[in-house]
Structure 1
Amino acid sequence: MVKKAGCRKMGVISTDEWLKKDFNRPIQMMEKLKSTFHDSLDGDAIYQQLLKHGMYSPNQRTKLTWEYLQENDAWKKTQNLFTSYKKLWGGPDVPIYIFPLMSSWGWKKTNETKSGLAFEDKLFLFYDKEIADKEMEALLIHEYHHVCRLHRLEKEPKEFTLLDTMIMEGLAERTVERYLGAYYLARWTKLYQEDKLQEFWSKHLEGKHMIKRTDPLHDVLLLGQKGFPHMLGYCSGFYLVGKSEKISVKKSFIIQSEEFL
C-alpha cells in the first residue's frame, strides 16, 4: 500500500527498543512519529492509520511475534536488505519502521505473513512470526519500489488516480518476481485467472480507473470491498503490468501508468 507525505533519521529505526519500553502502549510510540507526518496527526491518528495496514494491537500472540522477530534479527536483516537495494537501485535514503503484524489481519484470508505501508519519505513494515527471510526481502522490494517510484513521479498525491495506484502495486510485485521468482509473490497475485481479470476490468474498472485517490470508491475498488472481488485493484494492476513488454527496474520508477492500458 502507498501514501505520500516528512523525516529525519534514515535506514532501519530501532523500533525494537521502542517495543521493549512501550509494547502495550503503541499510541505512546506513535507520538515519536508526529514530526514525520506533514498533516499534524497525533499519536492516536497515526496508530489508527497504521492499524488499517497491518500494525499490531497488543495481545499475547503479537507479543510472541515481537519476541520471535527479535530472536530472528529482523531489524538487522532488514537493514542489510535495504542497504543492498538502495545501492542497486540508486534509491532514496528513508527511515524504516518495523512492527509486529496484527494477529487478526484483515487480509488473513490470503494467509499473508507480512504487510507494509510506503510513503515518499518513510516506510512501515509489519512482520508475522512465521515470516521467512525471503518473505522479508519480498516485502522490502515491494514497499521500497513504491518509495522509489513516488520519488521519481512528478505528480502530487491528491492527483493520483486508481489506475496510478493499481499500476504502482503491479510494478512493485512484478519487481519481486524479477528478483525472487514467482514463489515469493504475494498470494493475492494468484487469486484469479486471466479471463476473470479481463471480465472484472470490463465490469468493474473500465470508466472508473481515472477516479482520484480522494474518492471513497478508490479504496473500495483497490481492495475489493463492499461486494467487489477481493483485492480487485491489486490483482488487476499486476495483470496489466504483466501483459505489457518487460521494462527495466529503473524504468519502472518513471513509466507513466497510462502506458499499460
Structure 2
Amino acid sequence: MDARTTVVVVTWRGRDHIAACLAALAAQTRPHRTVVVDNASDDGTAEILADAGVEVLRLPVNAGYAGGLAAVRPTTPYTAWLNDDAVPEPDWLARLEDALDARPDAAAASAHLLRPDGATQSLGVRLTADGHGYDSDETPVFGFCGGAALLRTEAVGEIPADYFCYYEDTDTAWRMRLAGWDVISVPEARVTHAHGASTAIGSERFHLWNERNRLRTLFRCAPRRVAWTQLARFAALTAVLPLRRAKPDAPNFRFRLRVRVLAEVLARVPRPRADRASRARVWREWT
C-alpha cells in the first residue's frame, strides 16, 4: 500500500522527547511519509535526527510551530500534524485515515490527546462566545487540536506562518468550515501528549502569542463586528489596567504585553478569508 499521509513533526530543542515520537511513528500500522522540521535546534536534536532515518528539513531560524508547518508542501492526499512531544498508539494514523475516508465532507479529524496520567487533554477545539479556541473533552468539536490531527491536504490552504505558535489550528479549522467542510473528532485515535514541552504554558511569550493570534484569527474568520468589538474590549481593559490598584498577576494582564499585542494586531489587520454571509453563518452555529 502506498503512503497516503505525510506526517509533519515540528521540533525545537526536542532532544528529550523526539526519539519517542519517531519510534511511535515507525510503529504505525499504515505506511506514511514522515517529515521532521527542525527549528534550528541547538541542543543535540539535529544529531538525533541524523540517525533517525527520517526526512529532515532544518530551518536556519526558529520559525515556530506555524512557520514549521508552513515550510512543508505535502503532495499526499492527507497531511498529519503531530507535536514532537506526542506519542501516538500504533493504530493512530489508520483510525484517522479510515475516519476521513468514511466522511468525504470532512476536511480534518482531531485525535484523542491524553495527558501522561491518562486524563483527556483534548478531543478537539471548541469556540467561545468571545472567540477563544480551547481544548474540549466533548464532541462534536468546532476544530481540531494541532497537536495530533489528520487534514485533507487540498483543504488546508495557507497556514498563517507569522502566528509562530498557537491558533494556527483554530484558524485552519475555521477556514475549512467557512469553505463548507466539516471537522470531526476520532476518540479512538489515541495519543499521549506531554503538552508544553517546547513552550512554557502560562509564560509571557505564551500569552503574547495566544492573545495576539486570537484577535488575528477573529479578523481573518469571524464577522468584522465581532473582531472589532473584541479588539475594542481588549484595548479598553488595557487602558484601565494602570488605574487599578488590584489586578491579576497573570502575564496577560501586564500592561506592556497587552500594548504589544495591540500594536502587532493593528500593524497589519488581517483581511477576511470568506464572504460576510459565510462568516456570520459559522459564528452563529458554533459560538
Higher helix share: 1
Where is the strand percentage greater, Structure 1 or Structure 2?
2
- Does the TM-score normalized on the shorter chain lie above 0.5? no
Query: With structure 1 as the length reference, what TM-score do the two structures score?
Result: 0.33
